[in-house]
Amino acid sequence: MDWSEAFAQRYQLDREWVRSAVGQARKIPAITQYVMPPATPSAKNWLAYRNRFIEPIRIQAGIRFWQTHEATLARAEQTYGVPAEIIVGIIGVETLYGKYTGNFRVIDALATLAFDFPAQHPRAAERQTYFSGELEQFLLLTQNHRWDPLGIKGSYAGAMGWPQFMPGSWAKFAVDFDGDGRIDLFNNTTDAIGSVANYFKAFNWQTGMPTHYPVQLDANQLNMDALMAPDILPTFSASSFMAKGAILEGAALAHTGPLALIELQNGGAPPSYVAGTENFYAITRYNWSSYYAMAVIELGQKIKAARQR
């Protein structure tokens, strides 16, 4: 209630409306477990992760989605410069084209993580502050769109709609792509497509740039510590990349922007590597995971190839 009073005052909202909405939120203990790192982390496995998303049901659904919304995807690509296959890949990985958008009341999810974030989490203070801000954004959205704050459902983290936007992302990046005067990411696929493209444009998507290139490692001059130090942040020019033992060929040699060495672990087998560009990094702004980014890229590529066949 203290939080509600301060929030209502800060945004000049009806204090009773805010108190009523927040007062009816319920803590969901399971969510506090979902956000915790696993007690005994298992080895990351790109092949196992990939197989969850690059599979026949999702590919077939993606083909149907692309066929149905071909004109909208083409317009989004033209407007924002983001390839249709990336947009199709995102929506496929996130919700299987709207099939799974979440069954938690968003206000419950966000209130649980804003007020009862597990203190034992290694980044508890930072994450709790983040979710407190997302709860604010959610309540502002419900005011602006005249939604019932108790009637909106989403993921256990509070992500919503076909593209699974958090409330803050909805406020910043969602667009009325069909021009009907309102933004709807729950039922309007045109708005969802345009909003995903706008999101990537906002995170500096470079039109025409590949997301990654093949890379080999030269054991004789490999400086793996230096290559892995920036993690997935593109840092190296092509020449400095190769000087540290990464071998590039073909179009990668002419790449003018920064690159990162992306490591995808394969359980007990040797890792896979690619050279990630700024566009690869842009995809990780949606979900901070190189495995996620590769799944989005490969799903989109598989669907595009299947359509061409």
Gyration radius from the chain CA atoms? 21
Of residues 211, 257, 208, the one with CA closest to residue 77? 208
Strand partners, 273: 263
Answer yes or no: are the C-beta atoms of 260 and 275 closer than 8 Å: yes
> Among this protein's residues, is 5 annotated catalytic?
no
Beta strands in the chain (DSSP E): 104-105, 153-154, 212-214, 216-217, 246-247, 260-266, 269-276
* pTM for this prediction: 0.95
User: Domain locations in the chain?
Assistant: 25-40+104-202, 212-276
- 75-115 tens-digit pLDDT: 999 999 999 999 999 999 999 999 999 999 999 999 999 99
Core vs surface per residue 255-284: b (16+ CB within 10 A) or e: beebbbbbbbbeeeeeeebbbbbbbbbbbb
Of residues 186, 18, 6, the one with CA closest to residue 107? 18
- 26-83 tens-digit pLDDT: 999 999 999 998 877 778 999 999 999 999 999 999 999 999 999 999 999 999 999 9
In the set 94, 134, 136, 278, the catalytic residue is: 94
CATH of 25-40+104-202, one of 1.10.8.350, 3.40.30.10, 3.40.640.10, 3.30.465.10: 1.10.8.350
